Amino acid sequence: MNMKIKTLLIGATIAISGGLMSCSDDDFTPTIFDTHDYPLDKTAFTYPLDTFLKVNFLKPYNLRFIYRMEDVGSDMQKNLVPATYEKSMQLAVLAKYLWFDVYKQFAGERFLKENCPRIIHLIGSPAYNPTSGTETLGTAEGGLKITLYKVNVLNVNDIDLMNEYFFHVMHHEFAHILDQTHQRPTTVFDVISNGHYDPLDWQNKHDSLTASWGFVTPYASEAAREDWVETLSCYLTDNEDTWNNRLATAHFDWEDVDFKDVAFAFSAADIKWLSQRGVIFMRDGEEVNDVELSNLKKNGGTVFGADMTINSQDENFDNGSIFNRYISSRQYDVDSIGYLAPQANGDYHVVRKVIARNANGLAMTDIDGHISFGDLDGGGSDGIDGSAIILQKLDLVRTWLKQYYNINIDEMREEIQSRQYARNPDGSFQRDSKGDFVNNLTLMQEDGTNIISRLLMEVLQYSSEQ
């Protein structure tokens, strides 16, 4: 692209020097663009946010933070709606607090001036891709522009949702920009999972399955470049439980089988009934503790099993009626851990942990009668420890960030977590009665304020100038 521009400029110079008109006596400026600092309209309702964006993004980083959706900068092939003023204001202060201020702290202001995008464009609605059945959460264009979608669903009370839709996307797209400046170690990283990348069908892979191959998300299995930035962004935005659950899942081998092959006596009505209840986790002869229950409930899961023990103090967890309905429909006991996964064509698959099975497809047990999960050398195993591969990839990311940008990713992750989640006096993260981490952004302090209200005041303070 640079070569084409240079050629056009040379051509223009020749045309001018050919005697059309001489401009040698003109006073040239450093740029042909209008750099006049036009004052903002103090009578406008949006003046406080416009001023905040100018002071915190435009002036220090030459970054245009656009919340009024621009058609020319949007995907004209999709039906999109603008972000609301309220949600734009919330995302603007959070982007500064959880993204820009953190990178400034660990890499310096010059780093941001040299590497940050020049445009952040907010879109209120989702961006669906009907041909692939996927949803675009964000895009990065040439290291200059980042577009964020679904802004109107932002909820400051739900950090997991904010991370999934916004901050994971921000770090993902920013990592693409950094990768374009100092490329990842391709000769090492790109071959680790060579043979498992699937650019055409990654969206139909399930997260447990791709984790077992060494990918933090299904999207990471699309290509090495996406694998790289997904590893970085997941590590920065995952809380302790989420990250550890990724690694725990990745340690086991998983398989994707057609539901009809394992359904036995299920009718079409049974399949529909089960699918309407979301993710189905099946356990046999195992204890389910509070941490596991919390994770299951977050994912809409229900515990099933023929010989199941629940070791929990949570009296609100009751799966009896669904469990009995499920078991009464089967001819055989549930023998694995997995979930029912609807397919695009209307069929269903079961994604489950690999275990040793006999010729009839039924589980084989050890001498104590227990089913063995996680034996990487046993029944049908592919011999891949996805957890070890993920950690290997993370170590390459860690070294690369330190070498080229002098960023300690572990310390930066700690800072991000501390800003998002409340800590106890001993430094550990606080948990509520359900075992979930406490939202530090909305936690009320003794003075009656919280972090999000103080951040919003950085915008609202400019109302006094109107």
| Structural element, H or E, at residue 121 | strand 119-122
- Mean pLDDT, the chain, rounded, equals 76
Distance (Å, whole) CA 127 – CA 228? 23
Higher pLDDT, 81 or 377: 81
Provide mean pLDDT across the span 286-295.
51
* pLDDT over 80 (residue 413): yes
* pLDDT over 80 (residue 121): yes
pLDDT of residue 238: 96
pLDDT of residue 370: 65
Report pLDDT digits (tens) over 241-260. Answer: 999 989 988 888 888 887 66
| Structural element, H or E, at residue 352 | strand 348-353
pLDDT of residue 73: 56
Kindly report the CA angle at 281 between 278 and 284, in degrees rounded to 5? 155
**Helices 386-405 and 409-420, interaxial angle, to 10°?**
100
Report pLDDT digits (tens) over 41-71. Answer: 888 999 999 999 999 999 999 999 999 987 6
* pLDDT over 60 (residue 374): no
Report pLDDT digits (tens) over 182-198. Answer: 999 999 999 999 999 99
| Structural element, H or E, at residue 293 | helix 290-298
pLDDT of residue 332: 35
How many CB atoms sit inside 10 A of residue 63's CB?
21
Decide the pairing of beta strands 280-282 and 302-304: parallel
Confidence of residue 265 (pLDDT cuts 50, 70, 90): very low
Strand order of the β-sheet with 348-353 is 254-258, 348-353, 338-342
Report pLDDT digits (tens) over 308-332. Answer: 333 334 444 333 333 333 333 333 3
pLDDT of residue 459: 97
Q: What residues are paired with 130 via a beta bridge? A: none
Provide mean pLDDT across the span 287-299.
51
Written as one string, the DSSP assignment of 307-323 is: S-EE--S-TT---HHHH
Copy the structure tokens of residue 215: 């990918």
Q: State how far Cα 217 lies from the chain centre.
A: 9
Provide mean pLDDT across the span 290-318.
43
pLDDT of residue 34: 53
Four-point Cα dihedral 60, 63, 69, 73, nearest 10:
170
Decide the pairing of beta strands 64-66 and 119-122: parallel
* pLDDT over 50 (residue 162): yes
Distance (Å, whole) CA 271 – CA 119? 47
pLDDT of residue 317: 36
pTM to 2 decimals?
Answer: 0.76
CA distances from 338 to 74, 286, 318, 321 (A): 40, 13, 19, 20
Report pLDDT digits (tens) over 225-237. Answer: 999 999 999 999 9
pLDDT of residue 288: 47
Confidence of residue 168 (pLDDT cuts 50, 70, 90): very high
| Structural element, H or E, at residue 257 | strand 254-258
* pLDDT over 80 (residue 216): yes
pLDDT of residue 273: 54
Do the beta carbons of residue 208 and residue 299 sit within 8 Å?
no
Distance (Å, whole) CA 341 – CA 280? 9
pLDDT of residue 253: 85
How many CB atoms sit inside 10 A of residue 330's CB?
15
Confidence of residue 362 (pLDDT cuts 50, 70, 90): low
Do the beta carbons of residue 413 and residue 234 sit within 8 Å?
no
